[in-house]
Structure 1
Amino acid sequence: MRWGFAGLLGVVVVAAAFGLVYVADGDAATYTAQLSDAGATRVGDEVRVAGMTVGTVKSLSLLADRVEMTLTVDNDVFVGAQSTIDIRMLTIVGGHYVALHPAGTRPLGSAKIPSDHVTLPYNLPGAVPGCDRTSPRNRRKCLAPQS
């Protein structure tokens, strides 16, 4: 009976340790970027540098005039004060990732990546003048062939 209890306790301790390692981002730094539009970005999207996954989008917060994106990046990746971000499509049928382009000589630290350093993906309603902030009914009119 004691060996069964000790075995069960050992399994619980190992499972808890794996859980902590999975949840903790001990080897990652957290940064914030300001976006004019979420651009189809989702929590959980990959953050990549030169095609290599180095982090994850952790949260998206809607503010009065912008979206704030919180992302984690591996500690061994230098993120400078002049860094830029591109939100890119994974495939033509959907999915996005965050392409981070580290730049600058000073670390970004707790500063935010400003929206003018963020490039959003192609957006059809935004590509047609006057159709980006209209109701769906008016948007259909905007997109209809003009005669």
Structure 2
Amino acid sequence: MKPIQERNPVPIAVIGLVLVLVLGLLAYRADDLPVIGGGTTYTAHFTEAAGLNTSSEVRVAGVKVGKVTGVRLDRGRVKVSFRVKDVWIGNASTVAISIQTLLGDKYLAVAPLGSAAQNPRQTIPTNRTRAPYDVTQAFGDLGRTFGQLDTAKVAQSLQVISATFRDTPPDVRKALDGMTALSRTISSRDDRLARLLAGSDRLTGTLASQNTEYEALLKDGNLLLEELRLRREAIHRLLVASRELSRHLVGLVRDNEAQLAPTLTALDRVAKVLQDNQRNLDKALAIAGPYYRLVGNTLGNGRWTDAYLCGLVPKEYLKPGTPPANGCMPPKVGGEG
């Protein structure tokens, strides 16, 4: 086989690009792969979508088990497709669109009910599904409707009605007078109500734009609480283990008190003897050091022993100047002697 350096780089580059594209496609569609992805896909009919989208979660008892894969219109109803994995869906299971956050995010809540498994090819009917009441949308519709009202004409209409029913009984007249006063109040505070609704609209938009930050904050808070819980459990286990260790040590001392008391008494006597003879021990160690040094020097030249004899021959048999000048002192290493 030829080395890569000697091959044509064009087909190698094409093959490399194809492999990169295939790997990217596999990573993008990882949820659909049979080993790391997969799952079972079900469909359900709803009367309205209520803000559900294809990236919404599917939960069972609050635990994420899948995600929504499709939301489309089907003959006047909303058909939602969702895929779940490792969870049982019964033939009487109910599916509800629930509110996930205060900013309007939704998720699909599944209650696994029934005595038999749900057939994935059969769509869950609307009598087993439920859509939430969207408060945000209701307030938005109210604001738009109120902004389109002509408060002046409403007040004029109420005044005409009040004049028409002027000769009615006192109870009806009081009710109409109250309606007239209400219309005048609404008309006089039209600008303030408009500013209030505009401010509410801006607040809703700001909260919606910060949805990702709020989610990250809540997730980080959950991680912090989980870590604190784990640390609390670790400290609790440490305290329990320390208490058990102290209990066992107390039991050990109690069980061996009869044997430990004589031993400690004997150790005390030995320590007293050593303390009384500390001066003699120091002197012995001071003398033993040079002695063992000389023994080491004597035996450190191989398989024989060095010796130094002084005074063996009488001085009168020696030549003048040959006896050692310092008496019988051994010669120093490297010096004369």
The bucket for the TM-score relative to the shorter chain is 0.7 to 0.9
Q: Does 1:79 align with 2:89?
A: yes
Letter in 2 for 1:19: L
Match of residue 132 from structure 2: 121
User: Which residues of 2 match residues 1-147 of structure 1 at below 5 A?
Assistant: 2=4, 13=19, 16-17=22-23, 19-20=25-26, 22-23=28-29, 24-25=31-32, 26=34, 27-74=38-85, 76-109=86-119, 110-124=121-135, 137=145
**What 5-or-longer segments of structure 1 have no aligned partner?**
none
Letter in 2 for 1:104: G
Deviates most, 88-97 or 12-21: 12-21
Q: CA deviation at 1:124?
A: 4.2
Q: CA deviation at 1:105?
A: 1.9
Q: CA deviation at 1:64?
A: 2.8
Q: CA deviation at 1:63?
A: 2.4
Query: Per the alignment, in what secondary structure is the counterpart of residue 54 of structure 1?
Result: strand
Q: CA deviation at 1:9?
A: 5.5
Letter in 1 for 2:61: A
Q: Kindly tell me: are residues 61 and 104 of structure 1, through their superposed partners in 2, closer, same or farther at Cα, counting changes over 3 Å? A: same
Q: Deviations over 1:53-107 (max 9, x none)?
A: 1111111111232100011111x21111111112111111221111111111211
**What 5-or-longer segments of structure 2 have no aligned partner?**
150-178, 183-337
- Displacement over 6 Å in runs of 4+: 3-8, 138-141
TM-score under structure 1 length normalisation: 0.73
Which structure has more strand as a fraction of its residues?
1
Q: Kindly tell me: are residues 112 and 94 of structure 1, through their superposed partners in 2, closer, same or farther at Cα, counting changes over 3 Å? A: same
Q: CA deviation at 1:17?
A: 4.0
Query: Per the alignment, in what secondary structure is the counterpart of residue 110 of structure 2?
Result: strand
Q: Kindly tell me: are residues 51 and 14 of structure 1, through their superposed partners in 2, closer, same or farther at Cα, counting changes over 3 Å? A: farther
2:97 and 2:131 in contact (8 A); partners too: yes
CA distance in 2, matches of 1:138, 1:108: 46
CA distance in 1, matches of 2:93, 2:147: 35
Q: Which has the higher contact order (CA 8 A, sep 6+)?
A: 1
TM-score under structure 2 length normalisation: 0.35
Query: Per the alignment, in what secondary structure is the counterpart of residue 26 of structure 2?
Result: helix
Query: Per the alignment, in what secondary structure is the counterpart of residue 105 of structure 2?
Result: strand
Larger Rg: 2
Q: CA deviation at 1:30?
A: 0.7
Query: Per the alignment, in what secondary structure is the counterpart of residue 20 of structure 1?
Result: helix
Query: Per the alignment, in what secondary structure is the counterpart of residue 91 of structure 1?
Result: coil
Match of residue 288 from structure 2: none
Deviates most, 32-41 or 107-116: 107-116
Query: Per the alignment, in what secondary structure is the counterpart of residue 114 of structure 2?
Result: coil
CA distance in 2, matches of 1:118, 1:126: 20
CA distance in 1, matches of 2:48, 2:147: 18
2:43 and 2:79 in contact (8 A); partners too: yes
Query: Per the alignment, in what secondary structure is the counterpart of residue 92 of structure 1?
Result: coil
Q: CA deviation at 1:118?
A: 1.3
CA distance in 2, matches of 1:10, 1:42: 36
